[in-house]
Amino acid sequence: MRPRLFGATACAAAAGLLGSLLTACGSSAGSDGTTLRLVAAEYGTGPATGSQVYWDKLTAAFAAAHPGKKVEVTLYPWDDVDREVTRLVEEGNAPDVALMGAYSDFAAQGRLYSADELLSVRAEANFLPPLAEAGSFDNALYGLPFVASSRLLFYNEELFEKAGAEPPRTWADLKEAAGKLKKEGVPYPYALPLGPEEAHAEALIWLLSNGGGYAGSYGGYSIASEQNTRTFRWIRDNLTTPGLTGPVPPGELNRRDAFAAFLRGQVGMLNGYPSLLHEARAKGIKVGTLSMPVSGTLEDGQVPPAAGVADWMMAFKRDGNRELVGSFLEFVYEDENLNEFADRYHLLPSTVSANRASKGAAADPADTQFLDALRGAELYPVNEPSWLKVSDTIKRNIGKAVAPSADPQAVLGEIAHDVQEMAKQS
């Protein structure tokens, strides 16, 4: 859930929320076993939706249940949190716990506790398997998944009905539907956000639907594979060149802008996650959801995985903090606490028991569809220590591969070369 979410989540907060300090019971510095420092991403878009309310309640409850223990929480927007945590680590002032989009570079440096050093066996085994797999480095769980989302294709049912289009099951169907939507005057028949905000998510969705992806078969990366090249060549020839992706070039279209256009009723199709579905419904937009259409080159019956996104809790090793960190994380991952956060942002909780107990999943069939997709989803290769830098390179460059005048093979090859250098340095 960059998203990101989460991944998958809103990417900026109001100025009054940024870097705010929340305390459960006073504040103090150091690792004396009584004060825990958490740096977390801000999931809200303003005071009304900010994460401060959640963390205030959670940390107060934790302090009440653990007399003499304190929690300090600092919030940063998604655009800044990875950089700020990295800065703190480099300054020798790492927080006890961080909630952000990547963990493996810190795990590779030996800076993190593994889950079995902090959690009970029951708590460690409770994470959804695809998330636990993505959170593991060197056969140990270091990235504790917090909230997650999967991606489904959304389509505006009213626009489809007016255009006489059918929900697509294949790429050819998608192209046909987009053509009909364009003839009907829909500004964005298919919104293709390959701008630098979250291009790596949209690209992964397309790559998976053709049997490709970012990860190599035996570890590392496979950016410029023949399958991936064919995917971007098809998009270029069948969507961007015929003008079926809208007035903004895909490489300049960010997710937030594509989502805003969808909420204005200007988009026929786009890939989305649960929170967008709830926003659209609140505005009276009738939304259909289905799995991402597949290419015609897949074998009969082959069902590619959905794209999944998760955000990660990680615990930094500091003298004297292990017991307190373990107690806090056990508290965070109690079903009631995890579900309260997930429900607040219409995301999916990361544990088996929280999903069973989720009121949102029980009440909304669409949430169940996202959860079913997440169970078999493929996530970013976040367990590669270089992923933080690699994902940034993909976000800034992958959109170039679908420009009408582009050579996808050359663009992907250049990205792959840069990625290879980054992997060597990690």
The model's pLDDT over 210-264, given as tens digits with 9 standing for 90+, comes to 999 999 877 789 999 999 999 999 999 999 999 999 999 999 999 999 999 999 9
pLDDT band for 325, please (50, 70, 90 cuts). very high
Whole-number pLDDT of residue 49:
87
The more confidently predicted of residues 30 and 163 is 163
Whole-number pLDDT of residue 12:
34
Mean pLDDT confidence for 149-178: 97
Whole-number pLDDT of residue 371:
86
Q: How many CB atoms lie within 10 A of CB 306?
A: 25
Mean of pLDDT over the chain? 89
Task: Please determine, for residue 273, whether its predicted confidence score (pLDDT) is greater than 50.
Answer: yes
What's the pTM value of the predicted model, to 2 decimals? 0.85
Identify the sign of the CA torsion 276, 43, 208, 365.
negative
185 sits in the region (left: phi over 0; alpha: psi -120 to 50; else beta) called: left
pLDDT band for 359, please (50, 70, 90 cuts). low
Percent of the chain with pLDDT over 90: 76
At position 375, the amino acid (one-letter code) is: R
pLDDT band for 409, please (50, 70, 90 cuts). very high
Task: Please determine, for residue 360, whether its predicted confidence score (pLDDT) is greater than 60.
Answer: no
Q: Among 190-194, 247-251, 357-361, 416-420, name the one with the lowest average pLDDT.
A: 357-361
- C-alpha 124/C-alpha 423 separation (Å) is 29
Are the C-beta atoms of 348 and 374 separated by less than 8 Å?
Answer: yes
In angstroms, the Cα distances linking 275 to 5, 263, 348, 381 are: 10, 12, 10, 24
Mean pLDDT confidence for 303-311: 91
12 sits in the region (left: phi over 0; alpha: psi -120 to 50; else beta) called: beta
Task: Please determine, for residue 24, whether its predicted confidence score (pLDDT) is greater than 50.
Answer: no
Top-ranked range on mean pLDDT: pick from 9-13, 148-152, 160-164, 272-276: 160-164
Task: Please determine, for residue 4, whether its predicted confidence score (pLDDT) is greater than 80.
Answer: no
Q: Among 87-101, 132-146, 209-223, name the one with the lowest average pLDDT.
A: 209-223
Are the C-beta atoms of 229 and 237 separated by less than 8 Å?
Answer: no
- C-alpha 372/C-alpha 5 separation (Å) is 17
8-state DSSP, 40: E
**3-state secondary structure (DSSP) of residue 215:** strand
pLDDT digits (tens, 9 = 90+) for 176-215: 999 999 999 999 999 999 999 889 999 999 999 999 999 9
Instruction: List strand residue ranges (DSSP E) for 135-282, in order.
Output: 136-137, 140-141, 144-150, 152-156, 188-190, 267-272
- Angle 278-42-346 from CA coordinates, rounded to 5°: 20
